[in-house]
Structure 1
Amino acid sequence: MASALIKEISDDFLACQICLETFRQPKSLECLHSFCEECLKVYGKKAGSKLPCPTCRRETPLPSDGVRGLKTNFFLINLVDTVGARNKVVKGAEKIPCDSCSSGAPATSRCVNCADFLCQKCVQIHRDLKVFRGHVVASFADLQSGRFDISPAESPRNEPTCDRHTGEKMRFYCKTCQEAICHNCTVLDHPKPEHAIRDIHSVALEQREIMSALQVTAETKLAELEQTSKSLDSELKHLEKRQDMRLQELKKKVSGLTSAIEKLGKQCEETIQKEFVLNEKTSVARRQEIEMAKCRLESTREFVANILSHGSDAEIAATFKQVEDSIVELTSSTRSCRTEEDQDMAAKSVDYGASPTFQLFKKMKEMITEEQRSIPTQAWGETMESCGAHAQPVTSPQGVPNRPWDPSRIVLKGVPKHVTEDELCLNLTTLGITDVKPRSIVYGSRQGTVMVECSDVISDLDGKLRAIHRTKFFGSKVTTEKVLVCDCVEVHNLPPHANNQSLFTYFNKQRRSGGGGVIEVKVDEDKRTALVSFQNYKVVERVLDRRHVMGKVELVVKPFYPCLGQTASNA
């Protein structure tokens, strides 16, 4: 049994992680980590009323008498004694002096019950005296073979004693206060009937079963965290790979442009760097959180496994509340599987850098055409005829549906200022765009820009748009555009604390805002408005159906169409 015991108990489990030596008077913290009393006194000189754990940083309130008042870990004391004695015999039996007499004679045997090393003379006395009747005296040869070794649970020494009544063994358990107590406590501090007192052995049997279940819970949680840790490592490598690939792609595109475009390329490169640093910090911080939780669960699991295998009933009862609180806290508060924030970040990393590159070409187009329109939108009319091409919806990233044209909306550009809404509706009816009054007419920020939403799908939309282009509209040349389904919202009435990061976090959580997959947030500090763009256009409908509140301030959220400009108003 001892051979197995030595193999089961690792050297680290019996060593203080401050001094790296075998435990001397170990004291246990609330997180179940234990350290030498003297080590904690030195470590906690500037700790104040709470002592942070040197391993996991969880704080433990200090008693009035400081480190000395912390709970003594009798389980470790017994374990150190048992394993230490076994190691002494294995490594150098000829150097062990007799513990029973003062002659200094070398020991040849050990009393399993007294846990004392005995010389040959004391062995004979031990066997002859009536007081030692029934004690098992094992020779060093038998001890080295592991024949007579016992676990700390079977040892009569170092049983936990009462903190209030010196020297009194804890033989009872108060169910009301959930703590192990001595006989004096049952009379003075935990009297019946106010307190439910039970024999500690019967309680320990129940607590062993509960601890076994908690151990399984801890092991399951640890496996989940290990898997999440590996996933985060892989994700971080993926971020780095995508970072390198996007930077190379961006540099290749920028190298062939003019000096003005090179300046825009540099701005895009800085944006990519900032996004990468932000995602990298998030992944590294999450990785550190997981590792810290793993460390605590690992040590807790090892502690529970050892105390279940080798702990006495009193030791089980003395540490049960700490074990239960620690494991319940860890398994309930530590995130294991990837959360919505993690998944949103991963989804964003799939097109890492795509948005800055997209904006680069958007600005190039604006510089060349001197018009403010989104990249996917192609103007019908002169622009289309001059290039001889047909407008096509933008291709979305893999796994995200392509953004289609809105079959019930068109945009008119160049509408004279004097044209009334009724006149506009009449001409649209004449051209067959709509048979009834449009559902809505929205005027853009640029003069002459109007978006019309019909009550139904516009049949033969391409043909009718070409017809408008060939027709003198109110005596003026009017161009038309198709409108892509909305993938962006305009947010008004922002609270004072709102910024890019807080809005990104809010609209990236599907449960909270209906959103998810945010690719860009732009805040106008002067107007206290923001534009939030989504990777999947279908998200916008969910967002618009929700009521949104940030910091007790209700947000006003509207669909945003780039073809209308930064501001729009309903007619």
Structure 2
Amino acid sequence: MDFQPSIIRESSTMETLEKQLICPICLEMFEKPVVILPCQHNLCRKCANDVFQAANPYWQGRGTMVSGGRFRCPSCRHEVILDRHGVYGLQRNLLVENIIDIYKEEGTRPLKKGNQPMCEEHDDEKINIYCMTCQVPTCSMCKVFGAHKDCEVAPLQNVFQQQKTELTDGIAMLVAGNDRIQAITDQLEQTSKSIEENSRHQKHSLVEKFDSLYAILEQRKEDMLQSITKEQERKVSFINGLIRQYKEHLEGSSKLVENAIQFMDEPGIAAFLINAKKLLQKIIDASRTSHIPKSDEGFENMDQFSMNLELAEETLKNITFGTDDDEMEEEEETEEEDEAEDQANDQQ
């Protein structure tokens, strides 16, 4: 039986995996500890420190008072900003380190006969075949006389190479899957930031619009209060003018009454009769107030300044989110519904 194609396929897969585990600085397989940069690329911590020291020659190392520095990722040129711990503050990539351990272990493990386990059913028989039916390793005696005599079997080396290739492919697939998950995570984080930014923008816009409404209402209130004040001042001025005129008339009448009482004590008949008619005419004129204007009935009312704000209040209560296009669509739908009702009524 020829196993050459499977061996070639396994070698190609292992080479592909090995390329993913090469440090871009030393061009060797990563040496632990492996650190992961913010851009998701990996470096040996020693190589990362070399790059960092070259970019920050005045950084003196851990335990100093110097704050962190920065350097660029050799793979994508993304700027990496470090804290005061330098490269020791970078997170270790334990997944890559575990993959390296598995890769090295699988790549160097030989199939030594002395290390082969023995069959549990036949103590003197080594496990040297694989039962394809039961999916377990077994020995030749089990195939000839034992529990696997009716099963399909294959050489251990064949199954070993096949499962090793499958494991290698699985590791490579896991690494690629992690890259896709990281890309999705980055996209979701960006979406979250966009949601926060858009929310801040909409909140600011909403506050501005309501502030504009407050300003309009405040200005309208001032204008209407001014109108009431002007009418109040006009009416009060008119009434105060009437009060002043009636007081002047009352004062004149009081003096005339006083003079008339004194005139009644006049002892001379001739003198009395000479001035009586003039005084009587003055009394008659003083008793007339028709020349003084009067206020109309209900002059004190200010009912013309009453307001009905039910419609405005209802409109304010129904303020909601939307655009002018949405309002136009709602109006069109309402008109269509009204037309449909009218047509239905005409048919009836």
Which interval holds the TM-score relative to the shorter structure? Answer: 0.3 to 0.5
Q: What is the TM-score normalised by the length of structure 1? A: 0.22
Q: Normalized per residue, which structure has more helix?
A: 2
